[in-house]
Chains A and B, each alone.
Chain A
Amino acid sequence: AQTVTQSQPEMSVQEAETVTLSCTYDTSESDYYLFWYKQPPSRQMILVIRQEAYKQQNATENRFSVNFQKAAKSFSLKISDSQLGDAAMYFCAYKVGGTSYGKLTFGQGTILTVHP
């Protein structure tokens, strides 16, 4: 079974600084997708960024980028120029690729605090 592990229960960063959230996963599949979701206090789950395992290039979305190390099964999220609105719980998630349906496996989450 696939597992996703986030080893940092909490992280903090100063406004305008950079922070990296860690995620590792375990799978025997070669085709899969990885996601980072943000959950602010409103509880809404917001997709931040996605990575396709067969693509070596790291995904980037504005201030958010990932460091995808397929051999190490590592998928970290880097937030640059942190803003107060980035404060939230962040979840790493995994989905098998191919033609299978879209069941997501989530990590335990990392609470990010942004200090002004």
Chain B
Amino acid sequence: NAGVMQNPRHLVRRRGQEARLRCSPMKGHSHVYWYRQLPEEGLKFMVYLQKENIIDESGMPKERFSAEFPKEGPSILRIQQVVRGDSAAYFCASSPDRDRGTYGYTFGSGTRLTVV
């Protein structure tokens, strides 16, 4: 079991470009969570998805950010028209149906987005 896989590990984008971050949950996990970590800060919840459904996006900025978790393939966090303030580490975590994160998630290693 390869764990939660995130790619790319590092991503550099110029202001105004689009960033696409991918997350493949652990095998058998159908719940995916995205978190953002700004420099010198803790992780902030962004969005919670199950297959083909967004369950809670209360932490997502209202504009430019979107997430999906299709029936097939990885979950995608998409940031359109990136700005310098989007520079951060973005983490994905997953949990199985029977657990719902009660025993703590399995986190990926994160994608560090740098906007230049």
Contacts and interface: CB of A to CB of B under 8 A. Distances in A.
Are A and B associated in one complex? yes
Contacts of B42: 4, 6, 91, 106-109
A91 B104 CA distance: 13
Interface residue tally of chain B, by bracket? 20 to 34
A55 interface: no
Category for how many chain A residues contact B: 20 to 34
Contacts, number: 68
A104 B47 CA distance: 11
B43 A35 contact: no
Contact of B107 (A33, A45, A102, A108): A45
A105 B41 CA distance: 12
Interface of B: 31, 33, 35, 41-45, 48, 55-56, 89, 91, 93, 95, 99-105, 107, 109-110, 112
